[in-house]
Amino acid sequence: MPKRKIKWDEHTTAAANARRVLPRLAADYFKEVRDFLATEREPEEFHRMRLASKRFRYTLELFRPCYGTGLEERLGALKKLQDALGDLNDAVASMDLLGGRTGEKVEKFLSARAEEKAQEFRVHWTESFDAPKQEDVWLEFLRTAHAPARKRVVKRQPGLAAPQNNA
């Protein structure tokens, strides 16, 4: 996802800004990951997707009050992608840190682990996160930001009886 400065309209609500800005960020994220996965990639290259996923998720989390529980479900799906990318990054970083000093068995294990997590990311992306029409679902959801319904609180003045229902 290209780093882009979000243009915030100070004359409108956070929800209105979210409806205007977040769909574009989501579309950019989907495009970036699709473009990345369009070619064969080495596990080391997935770090870029890890950063893009973190940036997208953390941005969405800022707008939790503007969306209902539907956002939590989407953040969970995004976190699953991030978890695979984090595990992949741990394996790659361990290989770099150890620099071949541990022997062939450990190197093979870490390399296999990195490949496994790269594949896990690809599968989750294509079969779930970016399954047919999922981007449209995301975009429509983000276009319709609304604050969750709040319970109406009726304040009573001290000494007054609560309203009674005589039905």
pLDDT in tens, 28-37: 999 999 999 9
**Band of the pLDDT at 89, cuts 50, 70, 90?**
very high
pTM for the whole structure: 0.81
**Band of the pLDDT at 158, cuts 50, 70, 90?**
low
What are the CA-CA distances from residue 147 to residues 48, 89, 105, 129 (Å)? 33, 36, 53, 25
Phi then psi for residue 69, to 5 deg, are: -65, -20
Q: Select the more confidently predicted residue: 128 or 150.
A: 128
Q: Select the more confidently predicted residue: 155 or 125.
A: 125
Q: Select the more confidently predicted residue: 144 or 163.
A: 144
* Average pLDDT of span 107-124: 93
- pLDDT per position as a tens digit, 7-25: 888 898 888 999 999 999 9
For the chain, percent of residues with pLDDT exceeding 90: 64
99 has pLDDT over 70: yes
Give the per-residue pLDDT at 5.
Answer: 72
Give the per-residue pLDDT at 98.
Answer: 84
Q: Where are the alpha helices (DSSP H) in 38-68?
A: 47-61
